[in-house]
Amino acid sequence: MNSDQQIKTGEISLPFGAYLERICCPFCGKILLGEVLEKECPHLLLVYTDLVPEFQYIHPEIEAHYEAWMAEDPNDRGPEEYIEATESLDFLTIQVNTSGMACGPVSSSVVFRFQANPAYLAGLESPL
User: Minimum CB separation from Zn ion for residue 127, in Å?
Assistant: 17
* Cβ at position 27, least distance to Zn ion in Å: 5
Give the one residue of 8, 23, 27, 56 binding Zn ion; rule: CB under 5 A: 27
Q: Is 28 one of the binding residues for Zn ion (CB under 5 A)?
A: yes
Q: Judged by CB under 5 A, does residue 47 bind Zn ion? A: no
120 binds Zn ion (CB under 5 A): no
Q: Does 43 contact Zn ion by CB under 5 A? A: yes
Which of 26, 18, 22, 52 is CA-nearest to residue 38? 22
Near Zn ion by CB under 5 A: residue from 25, 46, 58, 92: 25
What is the total count of residues that contact Zn ion (CB under 5 A)? 5
Residue (23 or 128) nearer to Zn ion, CB: 23
Question: Which long-range contacts (C-beta less than 8 Å, at least 24 apart) are formed by 108-112?
Answer: 108/49, 108/50, 108/51, 109/49, 109/50, 110/20, 110/33, 110/47, 110/48, 110/49, 111/9, 111/46, 111/47, 111/48, 111/49, 111/83, 112/23, 112/32, 112/44, 112/46, 112/47
Interface ranges with Zn ion (CB under 5 A): 25, 27-28, 41, 43
